[in-house]
Structure 1
Amino acid sequence: MAYKGYMIDLDGTIYRGKEKIAAAKRFVESLQARNIAFLFVTNNTTKMPKDVVANLANNFDIHVTEKEVYTAALATADYLDSLDSNKKSVYIIGEHGLKQAIMDKNFVVEETTPDYVIVGLDSDVTYHKFEMATLAIKRGAKFIGTNADTNIPNERGLLPGAGSLVRMVECTTQQEATYIGKPETIIMEEALLRLGLEKSEVVMVGDNYMTDIMAGINFGVDTMLVYTGVSTKELVASKPVQPTIQMDSLDDWDFDNDRTR
């Protein structure tokens, strides 16, 4: 059975920082030409969907809509909104995309005694921010980590990811965060709802075994690993559960037969 929907990672799969991955543009255009549903499911929390769409169009000549983008920031906001309606205060370590997504759900910022502390990627993070987050969690705030990515692939190499920041706060508070993004199922459940398909009809595509592929495995959908980003063949070979499909390039995928060329 041909896949009716594709969940696709961005960083390391569609591009590497500012570096184009030529096969990625062809892959997306093949999906569009065949009217196959797809959703970019990304652990990026720094951008809103409109920013992701603009970046794809302006820098990579890939043209999609905001409805085809689901970020860990949106998933975090959706998760918080599904909890206690009487708890609406937050302290956030993160950038505009995360803050805006949460504010759009009518949460308010509270530094001292928030209901929730959310930690995501923040390129301007300071000791003071960590200090405030640690104290708030110690006072009883629920600790949320947007995603567990320890690294972000870009044209310069592997940079620190949101997971590195979350783990620092875990260390200072001696508490584990509730993670939202890949490889957790929270973001996958909402992504599947947005596609309107069954698990058996979709595949998760990504470059990182520990996030993208484990998200698919944990959620019970097929997985497609492309070696253009974080994971290496040596690392993947050591794992007890292998991806459903492994490829060196997205050009290797045969849409018409649902197999590698």
Structure 2
Amino acid sequence: MNGFLIDLDGTLYRGHEPIPGAAAFLQWLQQEQLPYLLVTNNSSRTPDQVAEHLQALGMEVPAAAVYTSSQAAAQYLTEQRAGQRVHMIGEDGLRIALDAAGFALDETTPDYVVQGIDRSFTYGKLTEAVRHLKHGATYVLTNPDRMLPSDGGLMPGAGSLAAAITAASGVEPVVIGKPSPIIMAYAIERLGLPAADVWVIGDNVHTDIRGGAMAGCRTALVLTGVATPDNVHEQLASAGLTPDLVCTDLPQFIAQLNDCR
């Protein structure tokens, strides 16, 4: 049996617009009773909020089928057992994940600086983070994405904020989100299948496809987001990667998958 780790933005939807065929793809997975997990680098939303967003776009997915970089960051910190005090730079999705895992927000002497997307990032927040890192806190980054798609065009992502923090502090973060093997290992473990039986599906060669390949999964690139029919050859060349499948969209993935069986 195959399992599936599926990206969200650029794969199932673009901002507030569903991608054609995405709802039918999820229905196919559910009808075939195939195990799947929606894995996102977006640290700003909780799984419940992701499920609500998908529902508004006509896709019925339980919150338990969503795994975010914030959840993975909290899981990573729990496994480290090196302190419970966290200085957080981020939004509700990260705060709620850390709270659920039992971490206490501490603005004075944190063990960790945990950073995700923060659309209210300021010079003051940069200064605080750098000071904590200079005093020995461990730096953990939810995801390395430098730019994010939005309804108004691209906007700076968590990786752009991390670039400023790293430049000022001289401290490189532990990266949790795709293509990091950390989130990939956690997601594969949740599916309960060998990596070789898992398909990673996404629109970004540098995060989704690279992460899947490094984890030993099979990979399918869909040309509905970062990768498009116009730029796919450039994207693949810049990454130096060859996915197992390149598909125009998710319905074509189903057709190609059936041909592979």
TM-score using structure 2 length: 0.94
Partner in structure 2 of residue 239 of structure 1? 239
Give the alignment's Cα RMSD to 1 decimal.
1.5
Identity within the alignment, %: 39
Give deviations 1:153-173, integer Å, cap 9, x for gaps.
Answer: 233322211111111111111
Partner in structure 2 of residue 123 of structure 1? 119
Match of 1:199 among 178, 195, 211: 195
Match of 1:166 among 146, 162, 166: 162
Quick check: 1:181 aligned with 2:177? yes
What are the ranges of 5 or more consecutive residues in structure 2 without an aligned counterpart?
none
Structure 1 residues 257 and 188: alpha-carbon distance in aligned structure 2, compared to 1, 3 A threshold = closer
Q: Secondary structure at the match of 2:5?
A: strand
1:32, CA displacement in angstroms?
1.2
Partner in structure 2 of residue 30 of structure 1? 28
Partner in structure 1 of residue 143 of structure 2? 147
**In 1, Cα distance between equivalents of 2:172 and 2:188:** 27
Partner in structure 2 of residue 11 of structure 1? 9
What are the ranges of 5 or more consecutive residues in structure 1 without an aligned counterpart?
none
Q: Which amino acid aligns with 1:36?
A: L
Please show how residues 106-117 of structure 1 align to structure 2 within 5 Å: 106-117=102-113
Q: Which amino acid aligns with 2:242?
A: Q
User: Does the aligned pair in 1 maintain the 2:3–2:193 contact within 8 Å?
Assistant: yes
User: Does the aligned pair in 2 maintain the 1:112–1:132 contact within 8 Å?
Assistant: no
Structure 1 residues 248 and 155: alpha-carbon distance in aligned structure 2, compared to 1, 3 A threshold = farther
User: Does the aligned pair in 1 maintain the 2:206–2:239 contact within 8 Å?
Assistant: no
**In 2, Cα distance between equivalents of 1:243 and 1:156:** 30
Partner in structure 2 of residue 219 of structure 1? 215
1:254, CA displacement in angstroms?
2.8
Give deviations 1:204-223, integer Å, cap 9, x for gaps.
Answer: 01111111111101111111
Q: Secondary structure at the match of 2:67?
A: strand
Give deviations 1:58-91, integer Å, cap 9, x for gaps.
Answer: 2x11001111000000000000011125x10010
Q: Which amino acid aligns with 2:70?
A: A
**In 1, Cα distance between equivalents of 2:257 and 2:251:** 14
Moved beyond 3 Å, runs of 4+:
255-260
Q: Which amino acid aligns with 1:223?
A: T
1:181, CA displacement in angstroms?
0.6
**In 2, Cα distance between equivalents of 1:257 and 1:141:** 46
Structure 1 residues 176 and 33: alpha-carbon distance in aligned structure 2, compared to 1, 3 A threshold = same
Structure 1 residues 255 and 191: alpha-carbon distance in aligned structure 2, compared to 1, 3 A threshold = farther
**In 2, Cα distance between equivalents of 1:159 and 1:99:** 22
Partner in structure 1 of residue 59 of structure 2? 62
1:10, CA displacement in angstroms?
0.5
TM-score using structure 1 length: 0.94
**In 2, Cα distance between equivalents of 1:79 and 1:10:** 22
**In 2, Cα distance between equivalents of 1:256 and 1:135:** 52
1:258, CA displacement in angstroms?
3.4
**In 1, Cα distance between equivalents of 2:218 and 2:150:** 26
**In 2, Cα distance between equivalents of 1:18 and 1:227:** 18
Partner in structure 1 of residue 133 of structure 2? 137
User: Does the aligned pair in 2 maintain the 1:90–1:108 contact within 8 Å?
Assistant: yes
